[in-house]
Copies of this chain bind each other. A is one copy, B any other.
Amino acid sequence: MLVVKIGGSQGVGLDAVCADIADLVSKMQPVVVVHGGSAETNEISEKLGFPPRFVTNQSGFSSRYTDRNTLEIFAMVTNGRINTLLVERLQKSGVNAIGLSGLDARLMIAKRKDAIRIVENGRQRILRDDYTGKIENVNGSFLSTLVESGLTPVISPLAMSPDGIALNVDADRAAAMVAGAVNADELIILTNVPGLMRNFPDESTVIPHIPRNGLEQALSLAEGRMKKKVLSASEALDIGVPRVIFADGRVEHPLHNALAGSGTVIS
């Protein structure tokens, strides 16, 4: 079993990814897809007159502030636009895809972050109306049943609280939890860079292999979004996924290349 995380719209070549998925599935190599969507959500929020709002926590990390209105736009864009069009693209390639969010069949249960401490104009504040969660459970047996019946699940980064509230979750971490739940042999995280670089953004310094005990050092090399990907890789290894690969999503055969050893392999 292979889990593939596809990033937002920037850079990753969806036609090439779908062609590789079609090839793998036709060779009886089951695939589960998890995708993101922050960039397109920002774009459409802006057009609808609700520009995204980012908040900074005490440690200086920035994250999206998801009030109920933002959550509904996030759901609409990730689950209705990105997910549906990805399912369409896979169906066109002959892959019998099925789009799911974490709400469907209670696929991904998350704990809602009920209060976020932020710093605004130098003052601390607590936000309580945020709809963001951390996944605690993925229904792997439901996914396995779908896969065994010949389907290719395509999952959007929306989870459900135990009492049925939709929550925005991080797509990289969702992919890690999904990979653990379906006992994946590999988790491939596609990005618009060739892997984790020792000297970012010098692409000739991609690190080909990071051992499990080298992840802490890797975290210190990672920039921006790559930090969350390293944390997700670490989580995936912790729950039993043997190999995580950061691979280039812009090339002609992104998945075949990754499986052949390109990118940064973490194991």
Q: Which A residues have a C-beta under 8 Å from some C-beta of B?
A: 44, 47-49, 72, 75-81, 83-85, 87-88, 91-94, 96-101, 103-106, 151, 158, 160, 163-166
A165 neighbours in B (Cβ, 8 Å):
88, 92
Once the chains are docked, how many angstroms separate the CA of A192 from the CA of B76? 25
Q: Interface centre among A80, A81, A92, A100, by most B CB within 10 Å? A: A80
Q: Are A105 and B101 in contact (CB under 8 A)?
A: no
**Closest CB-CB distance, A36 to chain B, in whole Å?**
15
**Closest CB-CB distance, A96 to chain B, in whole Å?**
6
Report the nearest B residue to A88, measured CB to CB.
B166
Once the chains are docked, how many angstroms separate the CA of A193 from the CA of B80? 29
Once the chains are docked, how many angstroms separate the CA of A164 from the CA of B22? 14
Please name 20 pairs of A and B residues whose Cβ atoms are closer than 8 Å in the assembled complex, sorted by A: A44-B48, A72-B81, A75-B80, A75-B81, A76-B76, A76-B77, A76-B80, A76-B81, A80-B81, A80-B84, A85-B166, A87-B101, A88-B160, A88-B164, A88-B165, A96-B105, A97-B103, A97-B104, A98-B105, A105-B151
Q: Are B44 and A84 in contact (CB under 8 A)?
A: no
Task: Return the contact of A79 from the options B79, B98, B158 (Cβ within 8 A).
Answer: B79
Once the chains are docked, how many angstroms separate the CA of A78 from the CA of B99? 14
Q: Are B75 and A85 in contact (CB under 8 A)?
A: yes
Given A48-B44, A49-B47, A165-B92, answer yes or no on A103-B87 (Cβ-Cβ < 8 Å). Answer: yes
Once the chains are docked, how many angstroms separate the CA of A70 from the CA of B213? 50
**Closest CB-CB distance, A44 to chain B, in whole Å?**
7
Once the chains are docked, how many angstroms separate the CA of A101 from the CA of B88? 10
Known A-B contacts: A79-B99, A84-B103, A97-B104. Give 15 more (CB < 8 A). Answer: A44-B48, A47-B47, A47-B48, A75-B81, A76-B77, A80-B83, A80-B84, A84-B101, A84-B158, A84-B166, A85-B166, A92-B163, A92-B165, A93-B164, A97-B103
Report the nearest B residue to A89, measured CB to CB.
B164
